[in-house]
Amino acid sequence: MNKLLLVVMDGVGKSKTGLGDAVTLANTPTLDKLLAECPHTYVKAHGTAVGLPSDEDMGNSEVGHNALGCGQVYSQGAKLVEEAIESGDIYKSAAWQELKNTCVENGSAMHFIGLLSDGNVHSNIGHLLSLIREAKAEGIKRVRVHILLDGRDVPATSALTYVDMLEEALSQLNDCGFDAKIASGGGRMKITMDRYFANWDMVKSGFYTHVYGAGRGFATAREAIETYRCENEGIIDQDLPAFVIKEGGRPVGAMKDGDCVILFNFRGDRAIELSMAFDNADFDGFDRGEMPAVKYAGMLQYDGDLHLPRRFLVEPPQIKYTLSERLVELGVKSYAVSETQKYGHVTYFWNGNRSEKFDDKLEVWEEVPSDKVSFDQRPWMKSAEVTDKVIEAIESGEYGFIRCNYPNGDMVGHTGSLPATIIGVEAVDLALARLLPVVKRNNYILAVTADHGNADEMLEKNKKGELAVRTAHSLNVVPFVVYNADCEIADGEFGLSNVAATVANLMGFEADGHWDASITK
């Protein structure tokens, strides 16, 4: 058996445009050396290659790590929801029927919470509009929408485009028997959408905004956004403070006993904490106050092992035959490490959306706590500490397979700061420089790839042809490089789902028959 280390450089792709290409602008002698001297290719990490509806859809870390870890392409996120809407199955689900009947019978409100954009990474405004139209068609009288502003998977200051789209749709639906309004909102990195339990205060702020209507009041969402932009020069959508829509000094969408709530995001990582706050009777993340008795459902079940939430509208993909399962069958001990921001990606998403290990003795997971600061302030993040852990794991001699994720290219890239992102990419390159001699000395094979692009395209041209900051993922291919192995790249085009078979091939094992073909021969 050959031992192998897989490094995921999160958010590091190959730019097509050269606009804001922090990967090329960075000083990366180690990555340059690997690409110049080692077998390598570039693989697709977006669109149909990772189970999304079309090649216009950006990849993301969740579907990317699903594909890396399971070796196959599954319908994911947006595609799952679209299929359920098209078939009508979403409205036949037990969760929709229960919540709809509750609202109709009690004359209570249906609340929708979620990211308001068409980024197709966490949500899609089209799904929300379908839910609202169906709510009216099935006799629900009142709808309240709690909008989270994106500026991360879509242009950085595009919020009003989606607010206007939603307001126009609501105005067409509203009549004497149906009342739908935007009730509250705020930037996705300011309220509600925390992940991996990094900042419960962020979730609490969103919870009190959405549930109680607690916060600064405005007449409309447009007024709130425009006011905050005037008060905070240069602020982008993801960082806008919370706001509440009020009429006559009272919030229009404070929740009451008998109301129902649907989180229309389909991606799990930033949905779990809010779902726990609504769903768990023994919740202790923060004081929920005198929480009204509401029924809650998610677009998907965000964690199958935790059964969270209990109610959900669309069945998630049933991922089987993962690389971890195969290695456990073979008796190979593995080690996974990242810092908090991507820890769930090398564990939960890698193992096919499972919180539990396949074998507690053969799988070791380690988390390095992330700093609770904006990542443009510390763009090196925890790359040094993660590298320390990887080196320790290699030198222990315990593990046949090691995987790690360096979040810098993605998390710093999302801030929109090109200078900081260049430093973030350089920090990852320094980590690779530390790993190479250790890999060589301990006779490991090193495979280096990424889960999607981001740092490679941080500027874009707006409708006026002017350069604007880009904080979203890119549609670019990502590298796949093999170091310290005698191998060749096979013919063909590859995606992230080809990596599992490649790992098995390089380690000297037969790939699972369900996996896509190996990149190497």
Q: Which two tokens stand for residue 521?
A: 């021969």
Which of 61, 158, 334, 338 is catalytic? The answer is 61
CA distance 403 to 320: 20
Who contacts 426 (Cβ-Cβ below 8 Å, separation ≥6)? Answer: 26, 27, 28
* CA 179 to chain CA centroid, nearest Å: 32
> What distance, in Å, lies between the first and last C-alpha atoms of the chain?
16
Who contacts 244 (Cβ-Cβ below 8 Å, separation ≥6)? Answer: 183, 184, 209, 213, 214, 215, 216, 217, 218, 251, 253
CA distance 210 to 274: 11
What's the angle, vertex CA 475, arms to CA 473 and CA 480, rounded to 5?
95
> Looking up tokens 């799904």, which residue turns up?
127
CA distance 201 to 199: 5
Radius of gyration (Cα) for the chain, nearest Å? 23
Question: Contact 183/244 with Cβ under 8 angstroms?
Answer: yes
Question: Contact 294/312 with Cβ under 8 angstroms?
Answer: no
Question: Contact 373/380 with Cβ under 8 angstroms?
Answer: no
Report the DSSP beta bridge partners of residue 336: 365, 403
CA distance 261 to 312: 11
Question: Contact 49/485 with Cβ under 8 angstroms?
Answer: no
Is 15 a residue of the active site?
Answer: no
Active site residue ranges: 61
